[in-house]
Amino acid sequence: MARENGEAGGDCSWKKQVDDIKEMFEFKEVLGTGAFSEVVLAEERSTGKMFAVKCIPKKALKGKESSIENEIAVLRKIKHENIVALEDIYESSNHLYLIMQLVSGGELFDRIVEKGFYTEKDASTLIRQVLDAVNYLHSMGIVHRDLKPENLLYFNPQDGSKIMISDFGLSKMEGTGDVMSTACGTPGYVAPEVLAQKPYSKAVDCWSIGVIAYILLCGYPPFYDENDSKLFEQILKADYEFDAPYWDDISDSAKDFISCLMEKDPTKRYTCEQSLRHPWIAGDTALCKNIHESVSRQMRKNFAKSKWRQAFNATAVVRHMRRLHSNLNVLPLPTLPVPWHQLLPPLPQGRSPAGHSLPQLRR
């Protein structure tokens, strides 16, 4: 049986104590495993609703209990239509269980590749939803710190489905007494000030949104090198270009929008509020020309192996959902904080991002 944690004056009343989580949820397939946790597809016995349950052994939290519980308590307060919800938290003698909203629409790049028609306007609409959600987080003093395409999921398989931000394992509250300076995130999307190990702020999320927007318009990343140190050097210098011919048909407004977000100096970088007012987002400057062929070709070339880097069993989910007469595909859910170098994806061998020769460091 579950029981509320009723410590007098305690800060953990949001946790529900449970002797055996399986009295409340029927565990199905394992969706994924991380360094510190396991995510399981589960059906709530009382309602029949499906959730993703993240099972975290307490022994993995030794010495981090206070900070992790504080962050989870904050994340539980987040309610936004474009953010995957943390529905509930249970605690047993040995585990924490995070009950997560289950999203079923597939991953951002997969859906774009599957489309037959894709425009700047589509990319603008996607980025506006991300900006709305991140602006909401920033208004609450929360910095995500690991925004990347893999963490952008569609809510359902329908055309016009909204986009959802997931994975708050590296999120951080601003103004909690400690200056953010931990190098974390995924290198290809991380801001220069993070790699420089300087104190940083919510501006790091805006940089990452700029990188995502760049990829959405050409299909390859702005920074690339098989050598990690050279990759970092490119990012530290904000050394990127709008390469021909891949950017020839992209509007100047889109390029300006990206440049405002991928600004090396975080004090000059656009905030989410400023970005939401940019003509490419708020106006009518995003072009409606079909760029699907070029973008999808580059996405297939540069991100085709991304699924193999993800620790989750999509096949198991689809099989289970089909039994429930649904045609669903479930994607990864939050991971606990790990050092950024453990998150570095394997880089493809022997080619440049756009399949053409790029100098190691463009001047």
Give me the active site residues, please: 146
Q: Which residue has the tokens 């994607």?
A: 331
Backbone angles phi, psi at 2, to 5 degrees: -90, 150
**59 is an annotated ligand-binding site residue:** yes
Spatial neighbors of 159 by CB under 8 A, at least 6 apart, are none
What's the 3-state SS for 348-359?
CCCCCCCCCCCC
Q: Count the Cβ atoms, other than its own, within 10 Å of residue 227.
A: 10
Taking the C-alpha atoms of 322, 314, 352 and 197 in order, what is their torsion angle to the nearest 10 degrees? 140
Q: How many CB atoms lie within 10 A of CB 29?
A: 15
Whole-angstrom distance, CA of residue 100 vs CA of residue 335: 12
Q: Is 22 exposed, middle or buried (0-12, 13-18, 19+ CB in 10 A)?
A: exposed
Which residue positions form the known binding site?
59
